Amino acid sequence: MSQDDGFCTDLMRGDDAQTGFTCGVRALDDYFARHAWPNMTRGLGRTWVYRGDVEAGDPPILAFYTLSMAAADTPELRAHLGGRLPRYPVPVALLGRLGVHVQGRGRGTGLKVIRDAFRRIHAAAAQVGCAGVLVDAKDAGAAAWYGRLGFVDLGSADWPRPMFLPQSHLAALPGA
Amino acid sequence: MRFEATLSDVRGKVLIAMAEDLGMSRSQLLDEALALWLEVIEGRRRGARVVVVDPTGDQPDRELVTPSMAHLDWWRHRTDRAWTPEQLRRMAEVLERPGEPAEALRRLMAGEDVEGPEELEAQGIGG
């Protein structure tokens, strides 16, 4: 469990999938309801959830995000970096999906969830090594927002567009 | 085969003391330790875990995890992606010259207000 000023996320449970999470994007809603938990059980990533205060009228799940590992092909990178990389592919953390329930909007929920994800990535990087964070910006608006955080567009003509934040940026910040 | 390695003073002293305690040469001790470690790594690649079981049953089992074992776990569960040479070139540039964290990232991680993604929340950020 992660806590920050009362904000906490925890790992998705099997029964979370049937709580009617609705962020307004059919693909994300469908992913959460049908694929997030099976992917968890197969070890294909981790889905973290921010639970709402049901007694106060919140939905059971206010937001979720998924983290998994991807790998960058080392020979290609080594060619650019002059052999200063290990022989195995370079691990990067993939912030794959993030959804905020329609009732969770306007509370800064998205920011808190992203901060929570960055902290988890930073903590994991200290254990296993991680070159940075990868996101797939779905459109120009998302790309601009990630760009303000320092994500670099890796160059793609299509959407979603991969963007990369070096781990050193998170490591340099006291709140990470 | 002769093999050289550099250990910290603390680790080296422990190794020498353990070899004496067990009545083994340092080479025998390292050979046995390496054999065990290779078994651990091969098992971890298959998803096996290393657990210490308390002989009295009074204490809970303890799982042993090292950074390299955790790395294998992440690697085993990685998401396969197709990278273009241009994407890898750009990533290499960023890793080579990462620069300083952006002000918005500083503010975000400090828990301060950042021009929020509320308009993006409606669409799902990056999803």
Enter the pTM of the model. Answer: 0.73
More confident residue, A143 or B126: A143
CB contact under 8 A, B70 and A127: yes
**pLDDT confidence of residue A22:** 93
Q: Are A33 and A68 in contact (CB under 8 A)?
A: no
ipTM: 0.84
Cβ contacts (< 8 Å) between A100 and chain B: which residues?
121, 124-125
Give pLDDT, residue B127.
47
Does residue B20 register a pLDDT over 80? yes
Q: In chain A, what are the domains?
A: 2-172 (3.40.630.30)
- Structure tokens belonging to residue A7: 């904000």
pLDDT at B29 over 90: yes
Question: How far is Cα A163 from Cα A154, in angstroms, rounded to an integer?
Answer: 5
**A41–chain B nearest CA distance, Å:** 11
Please report the pLDDT score of residue A3 as a whole number: 44
More confident of the two residues A77 and A34? A34
Q: Which backbone phi and psi does A160 adopt, to 5 degrees?
A: -70, 155
pLDDT (average), residues A116-145: 86
Asked if the model's pLDDT at residue A123 lies above 70, the reply is yes
Q: Is the pLDDT higher at A131 or at A86?
A: A131
Q: Tell me if A169 and B75 make a contact (CB, 8 A cut-off).
A: no
pLDDT at residue B121 in the model: 65
**β pairing state of A132-137 and A90-100:** parallel
| Res. B113: pLDDT tops 90 | no
- Check CB contact of A38 with chain B, cutoff 8 Å: no
Rg of chain A in Å (alpha carbons)? 17
The residue with greater pLDDT, A151 or B114, is: A151
Q: At residue B69, does pLDDT exceed 60? A: yes
Q: Note whether B124 contacts A106, CB cutoff 8 Å.
A: no
Write down the pLDDT at residue B12: 93
A window 86-115, beta carbon within 8 A of B: 88, 91, 94-100, 102, 104-106, 108-111, 114-115
Judge whether residue A131 has pLDDT over 70. Answer: yes
Compute the count of residue pairs across chains A and B with CB atoms less than 8 Å apart.
203
pLDDT of residue A60: 96
Question: What band does A176 get if pLDDT is binned at 50, 70 and 90?
Answer: low
pLDDT at B1: 87
Torsion angle defined by CA atoms of residues B115, A25, A96 and A103, in that order, rounded to the nearest 10 degrees? 50
